[in-house]
Structure 1
Amino acid sequence: MPSPPFPSDHDPSIPDSVTLLDEAGRSLECSVEQSFKDSGNTYLILLPVDSPVTIIAWDSDDDEADAAWVEEDEEIEQVFADAKAVLSEQNLTLNYAAYTLTVSGELPEVVEELTLEVPTDNGQVESEHFQVLTHFYHNDQKYEIYTPLDPLLLFARRAPNRQIELLSFEEVQDLQPHLRELLIQEMEREEEEE
């Protein structure tokens, strides 16, 4: 797994790890990579402990292949058992975690990499790099399972009752000045260590 993009030292009152819960009651264990305060709120930058994965259905004809992200609960539930079985052959355990699918276990070395255009919450498209883990078929449909090569950072707020809540895209945008400052501090720290 890539090294964390932020230093791990943070406010001692913040735990080293937290568990996010979604509306369906699923959980996602995350390490706290960084924390900061703004306007009386405590914000956390989180990194899932297990590796996030994505399942993509490929519909190919002779000329081109179309990718469809498997994101809806109903779609995931239909292919989950098959995906879990093929990942277990690599000693990986597929988890239906909160906010993302994850795998626990040691990822294989990157053999095959894929760059995909991914739509973002603000309607733009970004290129992301993925490691191909495996493929399987379900009802004559080809599926492939990928893990992102860049860390999946999640942004959350710790409420006064100590509950951790994931931030919306708009809330993350509002925090951009603080995030830039943290990145600059980390780059300066790395330069000093060299």
Structure 2
Amino acid sequence: MSENRENGYSQEEDIVSLIDQEGRELACYVEEYIELDEEEYLVLLPVDASVDIFIGDPESEELSVVQDETTVEKIFPIAQAVLAEKNLKLKRTPFVLTVEGELPPVDEENLLTLEIQDEDANPMQPPVEPEELQLLASFYDEEQEYSIYTPLAPLVFFGRFNEDGKVELLADEEFERVQPLLEDQLFNQME
């Protein structure tokens, strides 16, 4: 057992915070601890549901995630108000937007299936599984339609403890190096 878990972490009830440079926090459950090359990694699930705001008409092929921070900043109060009407609290958490509250039951009519295209994918490999998203709300700003969706499959982060004993996301290079090993270990634990 690592010294980090001995300092008050219990596998069943762990909630840790991922903090970005701006000091915003994302509370996550620790789903798994994985030891790999004498390093302890964590599989993290956000406590609140993750959401994406899409721009465009869901009925057309012209739907894309809003990634521009200026646009997110501009439409955030509107999205927050629309979700508040559904007893959901939209949060500016790091790495992903989240909503606190009870999500509505899944309704087949409000599902969106995204086929993720990887331009660098090997045609001999199986295609990436489509992602299903549930519509939570739609709104307009300056005649532009926006839709707020939450994925049906939970969002997973991989992290580790830093020298200060705080949890941090894996850097891109480290994640690329250990991702296949972590996924193998997770798969083996589920069997």
Query: Structure 2 length normalisation: TM-score?
Result: 0.82
Is 1:156–1:165's contact at 8 Å kept on the other side of the alignment? yes
**Do residues 81 (structure 1) and 77 (structure 2) align?**
yes
Q: Aligned partner of 2:90: which letter?
A: L
Which structure 2 residue ranges, 5 or more long, are not aligned? 122-126
- State the Cα distance separating 1:39 from its structure 2 match: 2.9
Q: How does 1:43-192 map to 2 (within 5 A)?
A: 43-58=41-56, 64-111=60-107, 112-118=110-116, 126=128, 127-175=130-178, 176-187=180-191
- State the Cα distance separating 1:173 from its structure 2 match: 3.2
**Do residues 38 (structure 1) and 41 (structure 2) align?**
no
Counterparts of 2:135 and 2:57 in 1: how far apart (Å)?
Answer: 17
Q: Percent identity?
A: 38
Cα RMSD of the aligned pairs, angstroms, is 2.3
Is 2:34–2:185's contact at 8 Å kept on the other side of the alignment? no
Is 1:115–1:130's contact at 8 Å kept on the other side of the alignment? yes
Counterparts of 2:71 and 2:116 in 1: how far apart (Å)?
Answer: 19
Is 1:130–1:147's contact at 8 Å kept on the other side of the alignment? yes
Is 2:54–2:63's contact at 8 Å kept on the other side of the alignment? yes
Is 2:135–2:147's contact at 8 Å kept on the other side of the alignment? yes
- State the Cα distance separating 1:177 from its structure 2 match: 2.1
Is 2:131–2:151's contact at 8 Å kept on the other side of the alignment? yes
**How many residue pairs were aligned?**
174
Counterparts of 1:41 and 1:160 in 2: how far apart (Å)?
Answer: 12
Counterparts of 2:80 and 2:29 in 1: how far apart (Å)?
Answer: 24
Question: Which structure has more strand as a fraction of its residues?
Answer: 1
- State the Cα distance separating 1:26 from its structure 2 match: 1.2
Which structure 1 residue ranges, 5 or more long, are not aligned? 1-10, 188-194
Is 1:41–1:159's contact at 8 Å kept on the other side of the alignment? no
Is 1:54–1:145's contact at 8 Å kept on the other side of the alignment? yes
Which residue of structure 1 lines up, in the alignment, with residue 18 of structure 2? 20
Counterparts of 1:123 and 1:154 in 2: how far apart (Å)?
Answer: 23
- State the Cα distance separating 1:105 from its structure 2 match: 0.2
- State the Cα distance separating 1:169 from its structure 2 match: 4.0
